[in-house]
Structure formats: C-alpha cells, structure tokens
Amino acid sequence: MEISADKVVLIHYTLKDDAGDVIDSSAGGEPLAYIQGHGNLVSGLEKALEGKQGGSSVAVSVVPEEGYGKYDQALIQRVPKRSLQGSGEVKKGMQFQARTPDGIRLFTVTGVMGDMVTLDGNHPLADKTLHFDVQVVSVREATTEELEHGHVHGVGGHHH
C-alpha cells in the first residue's frame, strides 16, 4: 500500500541539522505513527513521503518554509511577569502556551529583566533546513475513529 491522504503511516526517522548533528530520532524506540494529509508532520516531509511504499527509505532535506518556518521577529514579545499567572518563578527556558491570532502557540522565555519577560514564539527549529532519513515501517488505512480524532490509535499513537 502506498502513502496517500488518510493512511496511517509508521516511520522510523532521524532528523539532522546542516552540521550533521542529530536533533531528533526514533531509533531505539517505537516508530512514529501519523495520518498522512492531516498536518501531523511538517509539510515538506509529508510531501516527500506521498506515494512511498511500506519498507522504502526516504532521505529528504526540508527548507524552513516547508519545515518550522522562517524566524519571525514579530513573534518576540515583552510582557509583564504578572501576566504569566500561576507559573511561580519565571526563568529563562520556560515555555508557555498562549493564544495568538493564528491559534495556540508555544512561547519560550528568552530573557527576564526586572518585571518584564521576553517571550519568543518561534519554533526552536525555525530557520533551519531539516535533513530527514526516514524508513517507512508500514502503511494502512485509518479507522473512522482515527480520522475523527485526527491521530493514530494503537502502536506508536494515542492509547484511548
């Protein structure tokens, strides 16, 4: 079966940066399960996997525009510490979810100065070209329930 919209795909992957350093990998663990065509993966990787068969290997370099985006200065905000309610002491590196006009976005604290906190809403991998080595483990039809939930149940997916 080949990968197309609404198929459940299990992959093993290794993600490297331009320097060849491993950023993320499923090696040694469960494969990653996702539903093709639902934006579960960055668009450049979904595109590269479209039409591939179970058992095939895919090496692809994904540009930032089809990965985690270009770095956007507009996503850097300075807010009063008190606006981050219920979070206790605010430290560099902490992450908060915040509502933006584009939906929920994860912000990372990049600086604390007095009562002001600097938040960066860029993805940590923004501006990076992503080098993926992917092994397609299996491809199957999604169940109706999986399509309704928008995620995979069972091996590599959610268990509920």
Give contact residues for Zn ion (rule: CB under 5 A): 149, 158
**Cβ distance to Zn ion smaller for residue 81 or 149:** 149
Written as one letter, the residue type at 152 is V
| Cross-strand partners of 135 | 12, 57
Give me the least distance between CB of 140 and Zn ion, in Å please: 16
Give me the least distance between CB of 142 and Zn ion, in Å please: 11
Spatial contact of 133 and 13, defined as CB atoms under 8 Å apart: yes
**Cβ distance to Zn ion smaller for residue 78 or 158:** 158
**Cβ distance to Zn ion smaller for residue 38 or 149:** 149
The residue among 72, 76, 48 whose CA lies nearest residue 62 is 48
Give me the least distance between CB of 30 and Zn ion, in Å please: 17
**Cβ distance to Zn ion smaller for residue 59 or 155:** 155
Residue corresponding to tokens 């809403």: 121
Residue corresponding to tokens 């089809």: 66
Report H helices in 13-152.
43-49, 144-149
**Cβ distance to Zn ion smaller for residue 33 or 130:** 33
Give me the least distance between CB of 143 and Zn ion, in Å please: 10
The pair of structure tokens assigned to 136 is: 């397609």
Residue corresponding to tokens 């080595």: 133
Distance CA 12, CA 25 (A): 8
Written as one letter, the residue type at 47 is K
Question: Which residue's Cβ has the minimum distance to Zn ion?
Answer: 149
Give me the least distance between CB of 29 and Zn ion, in Å please: 21
